[in-house]
Structure formats: C-alpha cells, structure tokens
Structure 1
C-alpha cells in the first residue's frame, strides 16, 4: 500500500472537525484535565451523560504526572481505594491506611477510564470566558486554542453550550474566578475565590468533600479548585481527596440533570 499524505491530512481534519462539532452542545463540560475531572468524566459518561473535557495544555493529567517533587508515586488513603479499583489502577499498601500507586500508570488509567466510558477529551483548548443568560446560570463556555491564550494572540474565540460546567482547573479556579470577576455581586461559596491556605493534608483532604459543590447556578467546582474557592488548605501529593471530589462532582451534576 502506498501512503498518501493528503488522505492522512484529510482524515485528521475531517474526523476531528466532526467530533468537535458534535461536542459544541453537551450535557456537562469539564474545564481542566486533572485527576478530579478525569474521575468525574468517567462516572458522568457511565451514567449516559454527554461529557467533554477541555484541557489547555498538550498533556492530560494535571499535576499527577509528577507525583511528589518528580518522584512518580502518589499516595491514596483507604476511603478512596475503591476509585482506583474502578479504574484498574495497581497499588499496594505502604502502611495501614496508606496506599501507593505509580503516578504515570494512574494518569494513563484515568484517561483510559474516562474515554472508554464515552467521555470526549480535547487538549490544547483554553476556556477564556463563560456564557450566562437571562436565568443567571452558566450555560456554556468561550474557548480558544491553548497556544493562542498562552502567547496572548488577539484571536476571537468560539463557544460551547453546556447544561452544567465543572471547574477542575486546580489552584487557579479559573472558571470560578471568571464568574466572580464578571458577574456583579457574584459570591461563590461563603468566601468567594480566595485562594488556598498553606498545606495541611489532613484538613485539606477532609474539607474537600464539603467544598466540592455547585457554587453558582450551573457551575460545580471540584478538586483543588474547590479548596481554592473556599480558602481551604492545599494537600500535596495525596490524591484520594481529588478522586473522591471528582466522583462527588459527577453525582451532583447527574442529580442536577435528572439522570
């Protein structure tokens, strides 16, 4: 068989364009491709929810790739172990209540779990704004290419319609920060987006289940973004709370959608 570069080009552009257009109108749009949103995406797709993740960087997985200080291992506590089982991640007990897994395998399994369940992932796409209509609820996203925003090029964006948006953008809480900045009087949670407190894994992990919630109509916050919005402590390279937060965000969205 003789390869034709034109066929290869057409295949990439046509197939990507077809999929992209199909996902301009979704049930749930997740912003950020970190562990919390990957977990949420799997459970949403498993429930029959049309689900898409937008990640502005080339790689998916957020900060989990690097483990702790580029030692590619993560720690998970007892109550989150069942999520590793759901995704088929290998792990072992380090000491009672502490489990260790490869950060590299974990990211790979989370991505595979989300996409195999039916969620779509678009990398290199940045979310620069939200859409809000007469009912004062978030109903969509304004997107552009990641390299466009990173290089501060003046290129007009496109839009995505979504019944629910989940902010999983980590420490920046980017979507929540946009809403708080652009909607007069909008207060997300009790404090607004105030940023994380210093590291305290015990408190940060525990409170994360409380801070994962709908903070504005149509907008749910998960993972480190949830603690950033609420002004709760950061946790470091323990990822059980992140995964549990993602699962809870999915459950909130599913209930909101009436699925």
Structure 2
C-alpha cells in the first residue's frame, strides 16, 4: 500500500482535535507537567476524575530531566520511594535515608503512568489566564499555543472549563500569580505569592507537602508552586516531597469533587 501524505495529515489533525475537544470540559485541569502534577494526574484519573494536564514546553517532566546540574540522577527520601514503587521506577539506596533514581527513567515512567491511568497530557499549550464566575471561584483556564505567547502574536485564546485547577507550574507559580494580580482583593494563600526562600533541603522537603493546599477557591497549589505561595525554602534535586505533594493535591481535589 502506498502512503498518502494527506491521509497522514488528516489522521493527526482529526485524532488530536477529537481529544482536544473532549478535554475542554473536565473535572480537573492541571497546569504544568512536572513531578507533582504527574503524580496528581495519575491519582485523579484512577479515581475516575476527567483529568487533563497542560504543559507549555515540548517535553514534560519539569525539573526532573536535568537531575542535579545536568547529572541525570535524582535523590528521593524513603517516604517518596512509595510513589516510585507505584510507577515502577527503579532506585537504589545510596546512604541511610537517601535513594538514587534515574531522572530519565523517572520522567518516562511517571508520564506513562499518567497516560495508562486515562488522563490526557497536552503539550505546547500555555495558560495565560483563568476563568472566574459569580462566586469568585476559579472555574477554568484560558489557553493559547506556547508559540503564540513566545512570539507575542496578537491571537485570542480559547477556554477550558474545570471544576478544580491545580497549579504545578514550579517556582513561578504562574496561575496563582494570575489570580493574585487580576482579581481585585484576591488573596492567594495567606501571604500572596511571596516566592520561595533560599535552599534548605531538609525543611523544604517537609514544607512542600505541608503547604500543598487549596490556596484560592477552586485553585490548588502543588509542588514548588505551593512552596512559592507559602514562602518556603527550595530543596534542590531531591524529589520525594514533590511526589508526595502531588499525591496530596490529588486527594484534596477528589474530596472537593466528592469522589
């Protein structure tokens, strides 16, 4: 059989658009496909929540890929190894309480876990705003192609309705900052997104889980976004807290959804 270029084009466009339209009205929309949100997305999908993850970059995985200073390894403490086990990530003990995993394997298996659970990941899409309704809850996202944002083209966005939004955009806490900036009188968290403090791995690992919470009606902050909202310290290339933060974010969202 001879291959036809137009058939190939139609297959890609029709398949993508079918999926895209399906996920314009969801239970949970997660922004950023870093470690916390990948864990959260799998947990949510396994609980039958209709779940979509938007990632602005070409690749998912957030800060895991580069490990520490481009050495593709991450450290996970014992509590976080439970999450690695759930995703089938191999790791070994380096010293008491310190476990080493491949950053590349971790991203691959977290991503596969999300897809296998039934959640959708849409890359190269940026979230530029949120939707708000009369009760001043976050009710969805305003999205555009990342290429449009980077080239500063004047192209109007589209919208996605969501019952719950999870900000997993890392150090920048982009969605939390949008809410803080654009809603008069809004107070995201108790401090209003002050940003993270300098590195302190021990405190940072505990803090990122403790401060994972609903920070504004309809908006949950996870991972480093939660740390930025709470003004906690960064922790560097140790990721157990990030994984556990995603698990907690999913639990909060499921409780809000009644699932």
| Fold-level similarity (TM above 0.5) | yes
Q: Residues of 2 paired with 1:152 and 1:211: CA distance?
A: 34
CA RMSD of aligned residues (A): 0.5
Q: Residues of 2 paired with 1:198 and 1:9: CA distance?
A: 48
Matched, 1:103 2:99: no
Report the alpha carbon displacement of residue 199 of structure 1 after superposing the two structures with TM.
0.4
Matched, 1:139 2:139: yes
Find the counterpart in structure 1 of residue 196 from structure 2.
Answer: 196
For structure 2, the residue ranges without an aligned partner over 5 or more in a row are: none
Report the alpha carbon displacement of residue 184 of structure 1 after superposing the two structures with TM.
1.1
Q: Is the 8 A contact 2:209 2:242 kept in 1?
A: no
Secondary structure of the structure 2 residue equivalent to 1:62: coil
For structure 1, the residue ranges without an aligned partner over 5 or more in a row are: none
Report the alpha carbon displacement of residue 189 of structure 1 after superposing the two structures with TM.
1.3
Q: Residues of 2 paired with 1:146 and 1:39: CA distance?
A: 23
Deviates more, 1:184-193 or 1:52-61: 184-193
Q: Is the 8 A contact 2:45 2:117 kept in 1?
A: yes
Find the counterpart in structure 1 of residue 177 from structure 2.
Answer: 177
Report the alpha carbon displacement of residue 17 of structure 1 after superposing the two structures with TM.
0.4
Matched, 1:85 2:85: yes
Find the counterpart in structure 2 of residue 213 from structure 1.
Answer: 213
Secondary structure of the structure 1 residue equivalent to 2:255: helix
Q: Residues of 2 paired with 1:147 and 1:61: CA distance?
A: 19
Q: Residues of 1 paired with 2:37 and 2:169: CA distance?
A: 9
Report the alpha carbon displacement of residue 100 of structure 1 after superposing the two structures with TM.
0.2
Report the alpha carbon displacement of residue 114 of structure 1 after superposing the two structures with TM.
0.5
Q: Deviations over 1:212-244 (max 9, x none)?
A: 000000000000000001110001000000000
Report the alpha carbon displacement of residue 60 of structure 1 after superposing the two structures with TM.
0.5
Report the alpha carbon displacement of residue 162 of structure 1 after superposing the two structures with TM.
0.2
Q: Residues of 2 paired with 1:243 and 1:78: CA distance?
A: 12
Q: Residues of 1 paired with 2:73 and 2:210: CA distance?
A: 26
Matched, 1:76 2:76: yes
Q: How does 1:146-161 map to 2 (within 5 A)?
A: 146-161=146-161
Segments of 4+ in structure 1 off by > 6 A? Answer: none
